[in-house]
Structure 1
Amino acid sequence: MTSLHHDRRVDDARNTASAAPVETLAPVRGTSRRPVGTVDETVPPEVPAQRRGRASRAVAKAARRTRPVEPAAPATSPARPTPFPRSGELVTTAPAAPEESAALAAVRRTGGGRHRMPTVRRRPAFYLAAGLVGALSLGALVDTDPSARADATAETGSVSVAEQLGIDAEATATLSAGDESTRLLQELVVSRNQREAATTAAVDAQAAADVHAMASAAAAFAAAAEAARPKVVAPINGARLTSGFGARWGTLHAGIDLAAPMRTPEYAVMDGVVLEAGPASGYGLAVYIQHDDGDVTVYGHMDEILVEAGQLVRAGDTIALLGNRGQSTGPHLHFEVHKGGLDGTKVDPIPWLRERGVQL
């Protein structure tokens, strides 16, 4: 509520108290009768109790928040008419008392008695000091010498490279720029080339050694297999002797007959070379093999030949399949031995095989 509203209440009270015409005196409590339109400056008007209580509270609040205010001088402004004058009369208000004027001024300065939010006073000096302390603390954590760090890093890198290349680290650290650096680089290149050449030679030597070892292993395996391979074998397995060497039906039977099922495999009894393989008189088909000692073995009546003239065979190789071709009374193998060659003396195969470790 503004001071204007307070003045209106005072004026209303005074208008209510005055019931005389304009020419008469307006009775006011605590004052003498005086003509309307005049102001008695010696006697201050009475202020209502409610008004005085509010003013006192406002003065107390202002005293706590602001400095003491000197009482204002009595107002000398001319009186103003009331908002609602009675017909035929003019009522004026007297200026407020000094105490009332001071209270009203305090109320106006404090915003009409309403509370304001407390204002936090800024402390620039405190904030400035805190900022300086934070800056100093941050500076202590930051490396202030980047050039030294770069030098240390470069030195560490150079030493590690020198150690990896087999160069003395102390000598590398003391090298100067220019020709010395060029010479060192050339030495590094030469050393690297030498190491690469040595590595290549070692790899080649290892590869050659591996090849030689493999060849040696293969040779050893072959030698072992050769040693284990029989030198003499029977011309057929599981056969039955049906006719021996000697005279038969008025003629010489120059070999032995071994009966077996058709197409039973027939083997070379020893290593040798095939002299003849094909049709033969009286045998149907025949194979002639000459061995290392010069003797010749003959195989007849086979159903199929599996070798050819000039072929090298070893003991145990399959040379044909048993048959019944030529002058034959059943599937069998006719086996002969010619001592000393194809036209050599025909001998009994059974003793000849026994001499070489084969029993029929």
Structure 2
Amino acid sequence: MPVTDLLPSLRPGADLPRRHRTATRVVAVSAVISAALSVLIGADKHGADAAVATGPLTTTADTLAAPAENVAFAQPEIPQSAPDPALWDQHRIAEQNRIPEPDPIAIEAARPKTVRPVGGILTSNFGMRWGEMHAGIDFGEPLGAPIATVTDGVVIEAGPATGFGLWVRVQQDDGTVGVYGHVNDILASVGQEVRAGDIIATVGNRGQSTGPHLHYEVHDPEAGKIDPLPWLAQRGIDAFRFPA
């Protein structure tokens, strides 16, 4: 009697028809598809861009394998880097060492209001000389040396003058008039505003002169021609001391 092989009948599913096994696979695939659709629908409710089907929903194994399109993924945030401490210190030090803009008021307050007209030696004083009145003081200087205005003021005359050849007269800041005689070149014009130290002429030897020098006078509107030495001393200028 032939031995019947019972093993195939004992295998799970061995007696199921092929069609039944195929249906089982379809059910499993459908379950996977349903889970995937649930994930996509949930993502769409949270703002993800999803394609909306306009016809009957059909799903195959190919659609499961295809990459999803128009699905927005959150981009990772890139942390902002803190400033480089070394660069920050350099900026701070540069700001501390920055040279401030000059203050015009401070500059004006610091500048001298009276100066010596030239740097040469005093050669003649105010008073009688050779039987005549010498109404100013003389400073010996080389021909062409610069002459500075003694105070702030306004040039009221610049040109020829009897006995001086050429002169420049300046209305000084206290109301007196400064006279600069025997000049060689006139470097200022009538009506020009000048400040103490501005160059207005050069030393000359014009007119009644025995050598290059500057003759400087001070005319007071009430007292007339006064001795420039004490007037300069009151304003802090020692005419006998050479400028530094």
TM-score range (shorter-chain normalised) is 0.5 to 0.7
- 2: CA distance, partners of 1:270 / 1:309: 16
Offset of 1:150 from its aligned partner? 5.7
Specify the SS of the correspondent of 1:142.
helix
Specify the SS of the correspondent of 2:147.
strand
Alignment of 1:73-92 (within 5 A): none
In structure 1, which of residues 326, 332, 337 is the aligned counterpart of residue 218 of structure 2?
Answer: 337
For 2:170, the equivalent position in structure 1 comes to 289
The letter for the 1-side match of 2:38 is: D
Question: Highest relative contact order (Cα 8 Å, sep 6+), 1 or 2?
Answer: 2
For residues 4-34 of structure 1, the C-alpha deviation after alignment (integer angstroms, 9 at most, x for no partner) is: xxxxxxxxxxxxxxxxxxxxxxxxxxxxxxx
1:126 pairs with 2:33? no
Alignment of 1:184-203 (within 5 A): none
Alignment of 1:67-146 (within 5 A): 123-143=18-38, 146=41
The letter for the 2-side match of 1:228 is: A
RMSD: 2.8
For 1:244, the equivalent position in structure 2 comes to 125
Change over 3 Å in CA distance of 1:149–1:137 after alignment to 2: closer
- 1: CA distance, partners of 2:44 / 2:31: 24
- 1: CA distance, partners of 2:23 / 2:45: 38
For 2:113, the equivalent position in structure 1 comes to 231
Change over 3 Å in CA distance of 1:285–1:143 after alignment to 2: farther
1:313 pairs with 2:208? no
Specify the SS of the correspondent of 1:299.
strand
Offset of 1:149 from its aligned partner? 5.9
Specify the SS of the correspondent of 1:131.
helix
Specify the SS of the correspondent of 1:140.
helix
Offset of 1:126 from its aligned partner? 3.1
- 1: CA distance, partners of 2:27 / 2:164: 126
For 2:104, the equivalent position in structure 1 comes to 222
Alignment of 1:251-262 (within 5 A): 251-262=132-143
For residues 51-96 of structure 1, the C-alpha deviation after alignment (integer angstroms, 9 at most, x for no partner) is: xxxxxxxxxxxxxxxxxxxxxxxxxxxxxxxxxxxxxxxxxxxxxx
Corresponding pairs, count = 172
1:280 pairs with 2:161? yes
The letter for the 1-side match of 2:173 is: D
Offset of 1:354 from its aligned partner? 0.6
Q: Gaps (5+ residues) in structure 2?
A: 1-16, 49-99, 240-244
1:357 pairs with 2:239? no
Offset of 1:337 from its aligned partner? 0.8
Specify the SS of the correspondent of 1:269.
coil
- 1: CA distance, partners of 2:231 / 2:185: 26
For residues 130-171 of structure 1, the C-alpha deviation after alignment (integer angstroms, 9 at most, x for no partner) is: 23312311320223784x7666549xxxxxxxxxxxxxxxxx
- 1: CA distance, partners of 2:167 / 2:39: 107
Structure that is richer in strand per residue = 2
- 2: CA distance, partners of 1:351 / 1:123: 136
Specify the SS of the correspondent of 1:143.
helix
Runs of 4+ in 1 over 4 A off after TM superposition: 148-152
Specify the SS of the correspondent of 1:329.
coil
Q: Gaps (5+ residues) in structure 1?
A: 1-121, 155-216
- 1: CA distance, partners of 2:177 / 2:206: 22
Offset of 1:336 from its aligned partner? 0.6
1:326 pairs with 2:207? yes
Specify the SS of the correspondent of 1:358.
coil
Larger of the two Rg values belongs to structure? 1
Change over 3 Å in CA distance of 1:262–1:138 after alignment to 2: farther
1:302 pairs with 2:197? no
